[in-house]
Chain A
């Protein structure tokens, strides 16, 4: 019997390692494959077996349930187990998931190169090697793929700029500084299917003429660091990386650089400074990093999920990818659902589902059973969307119309016990802590905003201070170079506008 148990750090954080240990005792002859996570975290630790050629799952499994589980399975009636969840692929389909970027994650052992190949690995890179860089870039453009890190810039246009900029040396930098609270897709992919990221980076290199890649990885992800390091070594042995990739004579290699606990280094220009061994202060743009990036050379900078989505686009077709989604948001969104929600996890679904569907249908509503009051969408710089706006479809422009954003695809759910003035203050504490200090509105404004919110909450001159807070948020939004100061007002203003009662403000502001 073959068992599959995740080695994903989140699954391990709630006991997957102990379950695997118990399984080696309860079923000494069993083959145990340690996979990434399926992203169904409410079922973790999830144990899967291969039964009649299909994968069926049981979860969440506690350590003391393992021997009973093995007995039930060996008894030939797996469906009689109380934790039986059935076929995982069917469950994903029933949820409307389309696993393209995460096709292999949770299915195979992350650093098993043969399994990667058996599940379609390198098909995208082979396509890229068989055609001109321009053809690959055209396909990325045609797919409609936009930056999944938060900015949503069309990936193909960025690649085109790097391709068209002359330079003896060009770079691909993967932004793996996944600092937004409520996001974990990058971590899951790097721990669960690292070869896909390396393949995506190699494609970007081949298409644009870059020969060196860097992965800027946050230091909070020690497991991803280890898995990626092992994957890079294996990839070199199999010529997925190196001086002769897949026998093409082209070269591309990747090195990991660890961040050092600075949220701001997820901002691309700050990340470049950090990669160059400096303080992570944001740069002015222009020049664009695509023209003068790392070491002032043309540089593709994309997020982990953006780069990891390219192999599937090339392996199938740009049109297939583009056929999913709505309006200008094409393909799949790797939605990460967390906070106070019954079924937290990763949902790879086409763009266009409403927040209502995602939070209540997929997520099962709040974990506490209390009414859901709001969800913060798109990370700590994203707006708090009130339940009355949950009819908004998730798309770049669609959320934008409601002053919210897709960001990195994180949705953090809060029930009605949340105090929105507290959340607004926290947004400014965080902005203050993580500001690089370059722009005064961000550096000083975030401190002043905490003081003003304290004044409001204490009941001092509430209306005048609320106006002052709005004015300050406008100043920060307009007067900061990067999204840190520029977007940190979004959670504050959304809290103030939609939940003014939590601040003691009498007249709700005009709400769009």
Chain B
């Protein structure tokens, strides 16, 4: 565990060094950390604060303001389900319920509500590991959650 966090610390330092010359690099740094490690570990707060000469509170504030940043390691798959109006108009509420209940059974799939994927003309919409899937039904989304559970995370 100790070794793990040392590796993470080094990766975070490398990422900070890579971005330090950009204007206002905090969001790009947090995105890069999450994309490398899958989440933003607590040790990142101090490391990034030191690199940018900002306070821990400032980094913590930004990290927790934005919905995208995860502070815990993610499940194997990320499923975003649109709960906004255009999807609601064609059965989005039932799709959300199906996704949420399918994911409850220890599926290893993180289900997250989002408000618009820009796929409104092909609604209801979900996004699995970054791939948008349109015109879904409650049954289909249940199958997708179950199916994703049986496959490995995409590389």
Contacts and interface: CB of A to CB of B under 8 A. Distances in A.
Contact of B88 (A221, A410, A426): A426
Q: Is the interface of B mostly helix, strand, loop or mixed?
A: mixed
Nearest to B62: A279
Contacts of B133: 13
Interface of A: 9-14, 39, 41-42, 44, 178-184, 186-187, 219-223, 257-263, 274-280, 295, 336-340, 344-346, 367, 376, 380, 410, 412-415, 418, 423, 426, 430, 433-434
B31 to A, nearest CB: 6
Contacts of A337: 121
A445 to B, nearest CB: 19
Given A184-B121, A261-B68, A344-B122, 6 more contacts: A181-B85, A219-B68, A220-B80, A260-B31, A338-B120, A344-B120
11 contacts: A13-B125, A42-B121, A181-B86, A258-B31, A259-B66, A277-B52, A338-B86, A338-B123, A339-B86, A413-B89, A426-B88
Given A181-B85, A262-B66, A340-B89, A10 B132 contact: yes
Contacts, number: 153
Contact of A426 (B24, B85, B121): B85
Contact of B122 (A13, A182, A260, A274): A13
B58 to A, nearest CB: 8
Interface string B1-39: 000000000000000000000011111101100000000
B67 A260 contact: yes
Given A178-B118, A221-B118, A336-B120, A412 B135 contact: no
Q: Is the interface of A mostly helix, strand, loop or mixed?
A: mixed
Q: Which 5 A-B pairs have the closest CB atoms?
A: A277-B26, A181-B84, A339-B89, A260-B66, A13-B134
Nearest to A188: B118
Interface of B: 23-28, 30-31, 52, 58, 61-62, 65-69, 80, 82, 84-90, 114-123, 125, 127, 130-135
A413 B87 CA distance: 10
Contacts of B30: 260
A316 B121 CA distance: 31
- Of the candidates B120, B123, B132, the one having the most CB atoms from chain A within 10 angstroms of its own CB is B120
A14 B134 contact: yes
Contacts of B24: 275-277, 295
A412 B120 CA distance: 9
Contacts of B26: 277-278
Given A181-B116, A260-B68, A278 B62 contact: yes
- Of the candidates A9, A219, A220, A263, the one having the most CB atoms from chain B within 10 angstroms of its own CB is A220
A182 B66 contact: no
